[in-house]
Amino acid sequence: MIKLKIEAFDSGLKPLMRHQKPYFAGHESAVIKSLLNLRSQAGGNPIAHVVDEALLDFTDMTDPDLATNILLKYVDPYVEERNRYDETQTISKAPVPEMSSLVLTLKSLAVLLKKLSVAQIEMNMNMISPLIITVLSAIPIVLVWRTFWTGADVDFV
């Protein structure tokens, strides 16, 4: 079923995004969230790259500051969930993004941050810095697990 959704998207909505950009003005948040939701459903599907390309293309044609704010708000529940100190701490009711959509969000943010001015980045720093700290804090765990599992040596630079 998800394959059909992605194929329909690729043949219908993607060309519309390319050639009818004004129709998407004011609907950027809905489009971005829909693409990320579709990506989270497409885990393991060989044509999921279509959604990845579409989101990267869409964020490229959208105002970088607007798209950055949308994506940062999308990953905020993930940051809250990963940074709470214990189970009694309350978090927002927003769903935590799936890992596949989180990775796509980080890719898109990397492209968008290059386009922002220093002043725009500073204005978003209160949301960017917790995300960076949260994401980077998981990297050594992955390397340790990979080293343990494969027995490979890892050199830290």
What is residue 145's predicted lDDT score, i.e. its pLDDT?
A: 46
> Which of 5-9, 45-49, 109-113, 153-157 is modeled with the greatest confidence?
109-113
Question: Do 38 and 5 contact (CB within 8 A), yes or no?
Answer: yes
Judge whether 44 lies within some domain: yes
Q: What is the pLDDT of residues 62-105, one digit of tens each?
A: 999 999 999 999 999 888 888 776 566 666 677 888 888 888 99
Indicate the average pLDDT of the chain: 80
Judge whether 119 lies within some domain: yes
Judge whether 157 lies within some domain: no
> Which of 1-15, 34-48, 83-97 is modeled with the greatest confidence?
34-48
What is residue 151's predicted lDDT score, i.e. its pLDDT?
A: 46
Judge whether 145 lies within some domain: yes
- For 39-90, the DSSP string reads HHHTTT-TTTHHHHHHHHHHHHHS-HHHHHHHHHHHHHHHHHHHH-SSTTS-
Structural element, H or E, at residue 139: helix 139-150
Judge whether 155 lies within some domain: no
Judge whether 25 lies within some domain: yes
What is residue 73's predicted lDDT score, i.e. its pLDDT?
A: 94
Judge whether 156 lies within some domain: no
The residue segments making up the domain with residue 18 are 2-150
